[in-house]
Amino acid sequence: MNTTTSTSAGPRELPLQGIKILDFTRVLAGPLSTALLADLGAEVIKIEPPQGDDYRAIGPMKNGQSALFSVMNRNKQSLVLDLKHADAVALVHEMVQQADVVVENFRPGVAERLGIGPEKLRSLNPRLVYVSVSGFGQTGPMAHRPAYDIIVQAMSGLMEATGEPEGAPTLVGEAVSDVVAGLFASWATLAALLQAQRTGQGQQVDVAMFDTTLTFLATSVSRYLFTGKPARRVGNRHPLSAPFGVYKARDGHFALAVLNKKLFDATVLAMDLPELVNDPRYATDETRSANEPSLRAALEGWTLQHDVADVVARLDAAGVPVAPIWNIEQALESPQIQARGLLRPVDDERLPDLRLPTQPVHFNGCAPNRAVRAPALGEHTDLLLSSWLGRSSEAIAALREAGVLGTAEAAQH
């Protein structure tokens, strides 16, 4: 796909065009980080074992293709190498001399045992940025522990702070720890690349799901540092402000966000409740929060007489932050998201009419984000060994015969 766009000012490139990344990651956090970079033009080579990334077999499936793999590995090329073979490791050592970045999410110590650890690869390319994504980081007493999203949600305080006050700690309805780690990893990769370009020296970047999730919990961390108290479960309301949460209407629920007296007055006047404007119980954000049950009863006395659409229209006209509660279909298919172009049509003979998300930031001085389907397992093995390393077709066939590249079927499908 051509990633430059001609304009009257000349061709425009993608922001990361020319950056070469060797991607050893699998499942979610690591692949998401490199997908975000690939969206913006980085050449991402996904190096997979002969059996492929585990996510290739995780549902939901359509026409034999995994939804999760397809989304997290868009805009990448797949190279199959069996790193148990010394010749496969030697190929990595050759490729890394041309790379700008290596990203891996093995458990600490595994990359070193495979011969592709940061010390070895950076000795071959001192400018290399080597990004390690793991559950608990490369250091500390828990560094050796495996981690999935639910484990980190449980240990970070996120789960304990989520749910109804009298209910059980609740898992957030998204793999938030994986996603946050992926976001921090992509950001950290770019920061390290900038330093490498300035100084000529790369480095290892250590990204931990546990650390990044705690950083993500910005309000919980802030409250603890100033009060010494952990966040408590408050259900569908803000722990410190009111009215700030989910409320009932006649035909469903809506979300309301009121953070100051001006908005509070606008809210109650729009609801034909002028007597609440001067009620001392609701004079400040702090007193409104302390008296949240009585305030909720007063507001819902009005909202339960109206449909969600009417409540939202009335409050929106008054300048109050308010919203219906949408499902993912309503959000993705909304006119707003269609106008913003978050979903991009992608050509894929395996999945007709495929759309994939792209990174969400708009850059007005570069070409549009790339939109290329995820690769088949080993699809680009021969091409990459030829274009990056100059291997002949005979040499590639010999490597495959020796088991270095997995089976011939892996390269064809």
- The catalytic position among 238, 253, 306, 362 is 238
Residue located via tokens 């993608």: 14
Q: Is the CB of residue 277 less than 8 Å from the CB of residue 288?
A: no
Report whether the peptide linkage leading into residue 60 is cis, meaning its omega lies within 30 degrees of zero.
Answer: yes
What pLDDT is recorded for position 240?
78
What pLDDT digit, counting tens, does each position of 62-96 carry? 999 999 999 999 999 999 999 999 999 999 999 99
362 among known catalytic residues: no
pLDDT tens-digit map of 228-270: 999 888 888 888 789 999 999 999 999 999 999 999 999 999 9
Give the integer Cα–Cα distance in Å for 141 and 319.
51
At position 331, the amino acid (one-letter code) is: A
Tens digit of pLDDT for each residue in 107-122?
A: 999 999 999 999 999 9
Copy the structure tokens of residue 302.
């009005």
* Residue in 19, 4, 44 with CA at minimum distance from that of residue 365: 4
Query: Which two tokens mark 348?
Result: 């894929």
pLDDT at 11: 59
Beta bridge partners of 249: 252
**25-52 mean pLDDT:** 97
Do 320 and 266 contact (CB within 8 A), yes or no?
A: yes
State pLDDT tens for residues 308-356: 999 999 999 999 999 999 999 999 999 999 999 999 999 999 999 999 9
Task: Answer for the pair 291, 279: CB distance below 8 angstroms, yes or no.
Answer: no
- Mean pLDDT, the chain, rounded, equals 94
Say yes or no to pLDDT of 28 above 60. yes
Q: Which residues pair with 156 in a beta bridge?
A: none
